[in-house]
Each structure stands twice: as structure tokens, then as C-alpha cells.
Structure 1
Amino acid sequence: MLSDQPYLQSWRPVYELSSAVLWFTSMNTALCLSFFSPLPLSGFLATASVCAGMTVLRLGQALPRWQQHRRLKGQSLSFLALNPQQCLKLQQDNEQKGLWLGWGFEWQREHGQKAWDLMKSDNMPAKLQNSMGAHWIHGMADHEQPLFQPLEQVQMHTMVIGVPGSGKTRLFDLLVTQAVLRGEPVIIIDPKGDHDLASHTQRSCELSGQRQRFMKFHPGFPAESVRINLLQHFNRSSELASRIAGLMPSSGNNAPFQAFAQKAVDAVVQGYLLCGQRPTLVLIRQGLESGVTKLLIRALTMVCTQHQAQAEKAVAQQAKQPQPKNQRQPSSKSEQLAKAWINYYRDEIMPEHPCTDVEGLISLFEHDRAHYSKMIATLLPILGMLTGGALADLLSPDPTNINDHRPCTQTTALVEQQKVMYFGLDSLSDPMVGKSIGQLLLADLAAVAGDRYNYSMQEGEKQAKPINLFVDEAAEVLCPQLLSLLNKGRGAKFRCYVATQTLADFEAQLGSEAAAQQFIDNCNHLICLRTQNPETQKFITDKLPPVRYRYFIRNQGVSTDANRPMEFTGNLSEQQLEETGDLFPPQLLGELPNLEYIARLGGGRLLKARIPILTEPQH
């Protein structure tokens, strides 16, 4: 049904301007003739006054349309110097209005109508050669204003999509800076290790007056990096086993190897915990690579002596006795001692006080050595890369080492101390190691979220500050724990920002469109910068409600009568029609200029906005 509101062509030529020029010329002509004509002056002045009034009237009608055409040139890049005054203003805006998303407007039907008319017209603005994108898209609104999103809605997670160079990192700069100024813990996972993002984050901490909040991890700069144990936080030993086994490829015929590796890691971790030792990547590698004999002896000693004080003396005597000839002879004294401990445990301890943790180590010790080596052959290279060179001290730190002056931390401390932690994974140089570190970090954060949800949120700590998690190039570190943070992290006050280039990146990593769709649907808010992928464009715009656009059809014709060839009739008609179209044309997502985006926020808001480039204050 046609709307009752009048439909006006937005992009017709500004005829009123030509009319104003004509009336202005007439006014000047009347004034000039008054000096040379013998006619009364009053007539010329009256004529000039009428012409002046019409000039003003037509200029008033022409100016809005002229400004509308001028806005098609778009906006130039904006720079925002982060000085203390600007930081204070951002803090106040966050408290009163919410998260600042740049300048822009809410895209509604009238803006879609203007864009639809312009694309159908012959007046399309020419694109500038020295800049990318169609700048006229931002000129569909008469005015732009600062855009804000309530902080309560931010916890429903945000996905950022855009091709390289479109402005994802600059958008992260803006969002990270505001989170830092709010005094909330911030964790940034950047696979490529963008130096600008790290330096801007550090500068935000300095401007907030808390330089000590900033911490940095980067495998490429071990001397400047903090040390962190990504296996520090867990509730059950099986959690660590799942994390480490999850680093192995799970496609093809690798499932049995992954399951065996998980079982082996679980047994080793339980052994270290029985001995009162906190497991690290280095210790787990040592336990798997050199065999579990020494660890088994230590664990059995702890278990057996706990119940029988004379166990160690009895086992030492048994180990000195020669083995029967029908049994395989131990290859070393350590192996002989381990067998003695196993026999003692099974004879004296197990009937009354069985310990399933140590029994896992016994099973691993008695497993066929050749088969054992084959089954963990896929896991050992990954552990070797994570514990080789400088990474050994970075990922498996020793807090008691007084000779290492680099800070030593853990994810729980980052949250409790409201730190701003930047993780540069250096995936460009070593993608496998970068991906493994990112997945271990996300798994540790998922454990922190679960612990926070189970205990902290139930102990009355409702005022605990949210945790802001920024993941750039998310497809590089995609893992089940990241999905868990998206669909369950809200209860633990996690605010996740996930950035990628196209939605196809998730499908390529997860192996199916359904799995990728499951991942994407956990983000309530979507910010799209320039993207060239047609499927991504269609996915974004298909979620918007369809609208009806109006247009005119003009018909004209001439007809004659054969009996009266000198007579003819003509007709001219104009008809207004409606057609269903997209609220935002999907093809325009591939023409967005740098630092401009379309945001589809939860609740149905559609924003067209641009963001500034944050710069250092000029002294």
C-alpha cells in the first residue's frame, strides 16, 4: 500500500538555484534601468523588491538540496588527539551514555530510499582516485551525531568483519581505549602482533595515569615479554589434558591418537599433582618424552608411605631381589624399582586404599613402549615447539627464579588486578606455535570464566568489573573454548569482541557451514567494515527487515486515426509504484570507505558510522 506521505525525488538537479540566479539577475537589471529610464523610480524599486524576495525564497529552497548534493562527497578521515581532557570526556560519556562508537546516524527507510534512488539515477558521484570506497554512502543523512551503545548491551558480544586495511585495528583502538579508561581488565589476543595496537594500548594506560596496568607478551621479543603459565588455572586434571590434546589435529584418522594422548597427559598431570608439583608444559613434556618411570616412583612413594611408613624400606629390599627368569628383565635400576613399587602397591595398599590417580600412571608405565611412542608421536612435536628456546621460560615460568627479572603472572591475576594484557602471538612467523598459544590462552580464560561464574558471582560480588576480551583474526585461534566464552561467558561478565575478515574463515576452520553459523550466532552485535565476500554481504543484510521503496513511472504516447491522418492525439501519464528492497543494499558493503562501517546491534538498531584515528597529543 502506498504511503500517504509525498514522495520527492532526492537527486534531481537543483532547479531552484537556477531560478534564484534568474531572479537575482532580474533584480540587478531593474536597479540598473532605474538610473537611465525616465520612468518613476518607485516602479523599479518595487520590481527589484519583488525580485529580491523571490531570490531569497528560491535560495532558501535551493540551499538544503545543494547541501544534500554536497554531502555526497563524504567525510575526510578524522583524527582524535588523546589528551587528558579528551580522556576525561570519554570517561564521562561512558558513564552517562555508554560506549562511544564514532559519528554517524541510525540507518532507516528514508536513507535506504535515498540510496536506492541514487543508484537508479544518472547522477552517481564519481569515486575519488586517491581514496577507497563510495563516500556518498555516509551522505544519506542530513546530520551526523555521536553514537553510543549502552554498556548493558555490550556484554552480549560483538563480531567485527572487514578486509585488511578497512579499519578493524583502529576500531579496536577506540574500544580498547574506552575499556582501559573505565578501569576494567582488558585482554587482547592479536595473532599478527600489530605494533600500533600494542603501543596505543600502552598509551591509553599512561593517559589514564596507570602505566603499571599494561603488560605485554610476544614470543618475538622475549626480553620485553612477561612470563605466564597458561596451565595455572584448572579445577580438574582432565581439563589440562583436554587443552593439550586439543592442540593436536582432530581431522581424518587422528581421533585415536588424540584420545590416547589425552589419557597419557591426564595420567602425567595427576602424577605431578600427587607429588605436590604444579604441572607446566615443560614438566608434561618431560613426563611424556622421557617416560613416566621417575614420576611413577615419586607418586607411589607418596601414596604408599602415606598409609604405611615402612613401605620405602620394604620396596628397597624387594628391588634388590633378582627377577624370575620367565619375566622380562628390567632395562634399568629405575625400572626395577618402579616394578617393586607397583607390586607393593597392589599387594599392600590397593585392596584397602586404592588410588585411581596413580593407577593411571601404572597403566601408562606397563603399556607397550613401541606402541606408546607411536601414539604420542603427534603430540610431542607440538609440546617441543611450546617448550623450546625462549618459550620454555615464557610459558613454563619458575616464580622462584630470582635471576629472571621479567614479571611472572597468570590469567587470574590479570583479572583480579585489572591489568591490560596484550598477547602478540607472532603467527606470521610461526603460525602453528601462535595458534597453539592462542588456544591455550582461550582455554585458560574459559576456566577463569567458569570459576568466576560458579563461585565469585554467587558470593555477592555483583559489582565485579567486566572482562573485556578482544580477539583479532579470530579464525587463527578458533577453538571450542572460544565458543564457550561466547555462549556462556556473559554470566561471568565477559565482553567479547571477535574480529575476522570474512565469515568463510570460520567455515574453513570448523569444517562445516553449520558449525560456523553456530559460532556466529553467539554474537548479538555485528560491526561490518568493507567486505568483498558476497556471502558475507548477504548474511549481514538478510537479517535486516525488508522495506518498500517508491518510484515513478512516466508514460507518453501519440496516436492517429487512419481516416483522419491530419489529426492526432497524445497522452502523458505518471504513476507512483512501490517495490520491496533491502534496507541496506548488500553490494554497498563492498564499497564502504576506510574507517566507515555498518553496525547491526542487538535489538534491531542499524547504524552507519565512521570512526576516528586516535593519535598522540601534540605538545
Structure 2
Amino acid sequence: MRELKADSLFRPVFEGRAALAWSLALLWIVGLALFSNLSGTAMAMMLFFAMFMMVLRYYQAAQVWDYKVRLSGAAIDKVSTSQLDGVQKQLQDSVWLGWGWEWQPSHTQQAYDILKRDTEEIYPPNWFLRLKGVKFDPRGMKGRQWVHGLGTEKDVIVPFTGFAGHTAIAATTGAIKTSLYKLLVYQFVRAGDTVIIIDPKGDKDLKAIGQDAATACGDPSRFISFHPAFPSQGVRFDGLKNWERESQVASRITQIISAGEEGNNFIDFCWQVITSIVACMKIIGRRPTIASILDHIRALDNSEKLCEDVLVQWLTPRVDNFSSQINEKIQSITSAQNAKGGRAKSTFAEKAEPRLLALIAFFKEYQGPKPAEIDSLIGNLESNREWFGKMIVALTPTLTKLSTGDLRGMLSPDYDDPTDLRPIYDMGKVIQEGKIFYMGTDALSDPAVASAIAAFAISDLAAEAGSLYNYTEPGQKRQKRVHLLIDEGSNAICAPLIEICNKGRGAGIHVYLAFQAFSDIVTKMGGDVNAAKRFMANMNNLIVGATQDTDTLDLISDKFGEVDVVSANRSQGSGQKTEDVGLEYSATKSISFSEKNRVMIPRSVLMSMPDLQYVAVVNRAKIFKGRIPILEFQN
């Protein structure tokens, strides 16, 4: 077994005393050489040895004092975009994450040793700090400043490929997130990548980051925004524009429905209803939107009109003398209804217009192959309306949230309205044009609608990811990377986001999910802790600022792992006894060393991280302790 040693980091600087003693010895030797008759060779050897020992001890003393000064931490720096551009030229497709060092087990040992000591023992006197150029008092700063001083900092550089496994950002309010977004977004924009920011709070600072990054990179037009509270100031968003099969639209919408207590059977029925409506709209050349689908589900008249139009278009080329035959059938149905005293109000066959009933009769009598979607639409109309309403109970509220007030025109845009000059975008167009797309969802004012908007946008991105993945040939270079930044990530977690995190890497989509507390993610997952952990397992990278939540600390500790830490155990005792020879005294003192498995980074360190400082796991292996500057944009 190897010998265990514990080196005290806060002992007196004995090397300084030794250096002073050797300096005096050097002066004594010089005096001796001047006033004695010793040989020149002997004097030279003595001078050389004394000078060597003096320099060695001064060097060792300087190292100890530099370490003590380094423990005072670092002040918050500012960096301009022009300075960052100079660094970026040397990075070669990498991201600069400030300054820091790679955390090793030796740093863990030092951290646990320092945590045992009072603040006054850790930091040198203020006069000495000022002498060494430190312009702040670490004792009065926020957080434990000494943590960053455990290592010697250099540039922290992470390849873009390192972010392909998605990144979680955990930090309390005001710790690091906004400044980190600024640093990341500017570098992504400068690289020509697409940046999509989903901001549940509608933070003005986060929107300004996108605008400033576009301006600083020389193309302000790259920035576009969407916010339900400011409908006239942004773009319109069509999340249902790009699709190849009707089922894709249905899947996109049902993905954002929370099944709740209704169960998957209800969601499956909603999927079938949407598929039939979209397929019939496609037959007659109408563009499906959230609003139009809702109108056909909520109002029976709209569904009947859709059914009538699609049947006319489908039957006309297939039925000989269609006009005359349909008129005869209408007269026959009308006569039968009149014989019964007019149209009753109990069943669909009694309530519907004779023309629609005649068209349905022709469709059912047709002997050739018939579209299943039309048959399904007819089945929906003929079903009991009360039962039908219960089956789509999960669908109607979701579509209503996305079609209320100004949202109707913002999320279900009218391409033929010449008076509305707001541009229309979808995720495919955003990616194709390399935009910086900021979407505020206004969760503070209306959290239910905000969650639906975020899920709708993410579902469109998930569909676009599928297209990018399906239609990129092996070996073919993909388009520029797509970076999806989500602030307050627990508000935006939905089935499409989980799909992107599971499979988005192949489409070149990198997710950056920021959150304050792991418990918020658990709540979003319906209280299922295991489901929340499975979701977080998709995040290969983890950047942690100061955090206070105990569940989050547990998650982070598991991510960082454990190492062996050496601890010293001291014991001493004394005793006395009376013998024939008189009174005898005895005393014992011993020091033993042992190893104990401890978390790599102490929880108290994570809880008290200074502002703009972080600990990060990158590529599932390397752990960095770093700090970032405040980035100042320059046009």
C-alpha cells in the first residue's frame, strides 16, 4: 500500500526565512573573502553554493506566496467582440469558454482541506494583496473566491463537436446564464450557424443578445423575433407549413398535447381526426393551419362544408352525369324528410342538409377504391356528437390556446392577406436562411399558452430535424449547425424536445437547456423522477454556476463522480501514576492518514460559486473550473 501524505497548504512560508538566511550567509561570505586569506577557489565555491541556495529558496517562497495570492480569486473582466474575434481566429471551429483549468483529484483534495479553515486563514493580509496588485478584498466578495485559485488558469476551449451531445446549464438567478448566453450566441452567429432562442419569460436582455450579435457580425437582418405580447413587432410563424404526409401534421399536433388522465387512446383518436381533416383539405387544395383545424373540429357546420366540398371534387370525375344524379338523390332525400314532418334534430342523418346526405350516399355506393380519409371524416360526422366531444377533449383546449386573439394571425398566418406585411417563417426557412430566431412565449402572463407555443415551435423543429436526417446522404456535408437555446427549460419540456434530444444530433441540432432546479423538471415530467433523469441523461455536457437546490446538487454530484480524499486523524493523550520511585507522567501523540471516497466537487463549493464562474463537464469526461467575462458588443 502506498504511503499517504497530507501537505498543509497554510503553513508559514519557511522557504522565505531560509532565503533570508542564505542572503545573510552570502553577505558574510563576501565579507570573508574581502578580509581573510582563504583561497580564491574555496571562496568561489562557497559563494556559488550560497547564491544557488538563496535563489532556490526565494523561488520556492515565491511559489507559495503566489499560490496564496491566487486563492484571492479573480475580478470580473470585460472583453469586447473585437478581442474575442482575435481569439476566435486561432480556435479552428471551437468555442471559447473564458479562462480556467481542468479539475483533477488533487484539486478536490485541496478544496476539502481549505473548507476546514476560517476565512482569515485562507486569504493573505490586504496590504500584501495590494502589494501584489490585487485591487479587491476577497473576504467581501460574493461566493468562495478561493475555488478558482486552486489551479492556474488558461483559455478554456471546447470543439463544436463537443456540444453535439447537448448541454444542460444549471444555475440560480443572476449567477451566470445571461452572460454565458451572450458569449455562446455571439460565437455561434459569428460561425454562421442558425440560432433559435426560446425564452418563456420574454427576457429583454436575452432578445437584445440576439439583436446585438447580429449587428456585431455585420448583418442585423439575420435577427427575427416572435412574441405574443407584441404581435405587430415580429414575424408570423407557420409551424404546419412543411410536411409530406397528412400523418405528419397530426403527429406534430398530438405531440404537444398532454395526455394527462385521458390516456393514449384519446390521443390516438385525436391523431385520426386530424389526419382525416388534413387529408381532405389537401384534396381540395386548402392549406391546413392550427386555426382551420380547430374550426373544423369545434364547429359541425365547417366539417360538413369540408366534407361536401371534398366529396364533390372526388365524385365529379367518377360518377356519370353527376349533376343530374345528385339532384335526383337530393329530391328523394328531401321528399323522405318531408314525409316525416321535416328534418329532425336527433341523428346526423336527420339533421344534415339533403345535399350532403346525397353526396355521402353516392360515396358509400361507389364500388371502386375509396380514400380512407374521406371515409374517416364521414364517420366522424355520423358519430354521436356528445361522444365525439369527449374523445377530442384533449385536443380542443390545445388548439384553442394557439388560436386565441392575436395568436390566430400569428400562428395561423393568411398567405393571401395583402394588408399583413409581417414576414412568415417556419423552422425550415429559419434554418435555410441561417437566422437568429428569438421566440418569447410570455409565460409570466399566460403560462398555459406559453407552454403550447413553445411545444408547437419545437415540434416544427423536430419535424425539420427528421427531414435533415432523412434527406442527407451518407458522407454528404450537412448544413450549418443549429443551436437551440432554451431558457427556463422546465417550461418548454415536451415530447418533441425529448425527441430532439434523443435523435437531434444526427441532424446537426445542438440543445442548450438552462434550468434553476432539477425539481422543476421532475414536476414537468409529472413527478416521475426516473423520467426526468432519463431526459437529463441526454445532456452529455453540464455547465454549473452557483445553485442552491438540493435535488440539483444531487444530480450534479452524480455527474461529476467521486474520488479518494486523504484525511489526517490526530490523537493525543496524557496520564500519571504513583510508583515506589515517585510520580510518573506519560504522554502520547499520533497522526494517521486514511482515504475516504468523496464527491469530486464538494456541494458547498457548488452552492457558493462566485458570479460568472462555473464548473463544467465536457464530452462526458473532462471537468473544467472556469470563469467567463462580460462580453461587450461592438458594431
CA gap 1:569/1:247 in 2 versus in 1, 3 angstroms = closer
User: Shift of the alpha carbon at 1:553?
Assistant: 3.8
Runs of 5+ unmatched residues, structure 2: 37-42, 124-136
Indicate the residue corresponding to 2:278 in structure 1: 269
| Structure 1 residue 358 corresponds to structure 2 residue 374 | yes
In 2, Cα distance between equivalents of 1:93 and 1:135: 29
Letter in 2 for 1:303: W
| Structure 1 residue 431 corresponds to structure 2 residue 447 | yes
User: Shift of the alpha carbon at 1:137?
Assistant: 1.0
Letter in 2 for 1:411: M
For normalisation by structure 2, the TM-score amounts to 0.86
| Structure 1 residue 490 corresponds to structure 2 residue 527 | no
In 2, Cα distance between equivalents of 1:561 and 1:52: 54
Matching residue within 289, 304, 318 for 2:315: 304
Indicate the residue corresponding to 2:91 in structure 1: 93
In 1, Cα distance between equivalents of 2:588 and 2:397: 83
Letter in 2 for 1:340: A
CA gap 1:327/1:15 in 2 versus in 1, 3 angstroms = farther
- Supply the RMSD in Å over aligned alpha carbons: 3.2
Indicate the residue corresponding to 1:580 in structure 2: 597
User: Shift of the alpha carbon at 1:395?
Assistant: 0.7
Indicate the residue corresponding to 2:306 in structure 1: 295
Asked if structure 2 preserves the Cα contact closer than 8 Å seen for 1:91 and 1:181, the reply is no
Q: For residue 259 of structure 2, give the secondary structure of its aligned residue in structure 1.
A: coil
In 2, Cα distance between equivalents of 1:290 and 1:179: 46
CA gap 1:285/1:554 in 2 versus in 1, 3 angstroms = closer
The Cα offsets for residues 146-188 of structure 1, whole Å up to 9 and x where unpaired, read as 1111222221111111112121222122112111111111111
User: Shift of the alpha carbon at 1:330?
Assistant: 6.5
Indicate the residue corresponding to 2:536 in structure 1: 520
Indicate the residue corresponding to 1:2 in structure 2: 2
Letter in 2 for 1:302: Q
Asked if structure 1 preserves the Cα contact closer than 8 Å seen for 2:275 and 2:373, the reply is no
User: Shift of the alpha carbon at 1:243?
Assistant: 3.3
Runs of 5+ unmatched residues, structure 1: none
Q: For residue 224 of structure 1, give the secondary structure of its aligned residue in structure 2.
A: coil
Matching residue within 145, 162, 178 for 1:153: 162
CA gap 1:340/1:450 in 2 versus in 1, 3 angstroms = same
Indicate the residue corresponding to 1:340 in structure 2: 358
Moved more, 469-478 or 126-135: 126-135
Asked if structure 2 preserves the Cα contact closer than 8 Å seen for 1:186 and 1:420, the reply is yes
Q: How does 1:57-96 map to 2 (within 5 A)?
A: 58-83=57-82, 86-87=84-85, 89-95=87-93
Q: How does 1:96-107 map to 2 (within 5 A)?
A: 98-107=94-103
In 2, Cα distance between equivalents of 1:369 and 1:568: 100
Asked if structure 1 preserves the Cα contact closer than 8 Å seen for 2:108 and 2:601, the reply is yes
| Structure 1 residue 166 corresponds to structure 2 residue 181 | no
Asked if structure 2 preserves the Cα contact closer than 8 Å seen for 1:101 and 1:146, the reply is yes
CA gap 1:16/1:313 in 2 versus in 1, 3 angstroms = farther
| Structure 1 residue 562 corresponds to structure 2 residue 551 | no
In 1, Cα distance between equivalents of 2:13 and 2:335: 105
Indicate the residue corresponding to 1:134 in structure 2: 144
Q: For residue 534 of structure 2, give the secondary structure of its aligned residue in structure 1.
A: helix
Indicate the residue corresponding to 2:623 in structure 1: 606
Q: How does 1:112-511 map to 2 (within 5 A)?
A: 112-122=108-118, 125=122, 131-141=141-151, 143-253=152-262, 257-291=266-300, 292-308=303-319, 310-321=321-332, 322-324=334-336, 325=339, 329=343, 335-347=353-365, 349=366, 351-377=367-393, 379-458=395-474, 461-511=476-526
Asked if structure 2 preserves the Cα contact closer than 8 Å seen for 1:176 and 1:201, the reply is yes
Asked if structure 2 preserves the Cα contact closer than 8 Å seen for 1:294 and 1:334, the reply is no
Indicate the residue corresponding to 2:107 in structure 1: 111
In 1, Cα distance between equivalents of 2:268 and 2:342: 29
Q: For residue 274 of structure 2, give the secondary structure of its aligned residue in structure 1.
A: helix
User: Shift of the alpha carbon at 1:500?
Assistant: 1.3
CA gap 1:117/1:235 in 2 versus in 1, 3 angstroms = same
The Cα offsets for residues 172-231 of structure 1, whole Å up to 9 and x where unpaired, read as 221121111111111111111221122122221222222222111111111111111011
Asked if structure 2 preserves the Cα contact closer than 8 Å seen for 1:219 and 1:225, the reply is no
User: Shift of the alpha carbon at 1:323?
Assistant: 4.4
CA gap 1:603/1:279 in 2 versus in 1, 3 angstroms = same
Asked if structure 1 preserves the Cα contact closer than 8 Å seen for 2:236 and 2:424, the reply is yes
In 1, Cα distance between equivalents of 2:377 and 2:297: 11
For normalisation by structure 1, the TM-score amounts to 0.88
Identity %: 31
In 1, Cα distance between equivalents of 2:385 and 2:335: 20
Q: For residue 340 of structure 1, give the secondary structure of its aligned residue in structure 2.
A: helix
Asked if structure 1 preserves the Cα contact closer than 8 Å seen for 2:255 and 2:459, the reply is no
In 2, Cα distance between equivalents of 1:385 and 1:40: 96
In 2, Cα distance between equivalents of 1:136 and 1:310: 90
Asked if structure 1 preserves the Cα contact closer than 8 Å seen for 2:100 and 2:626, the reply is yes
CA gap 1:422/1:471 in 2 versus in 1, 3 angstroms = same
The count of corresponding residues between Structure 1 and Structure 2 is 601
In 2, Cα distance between equivalents of 1:545 and 1:438: 34
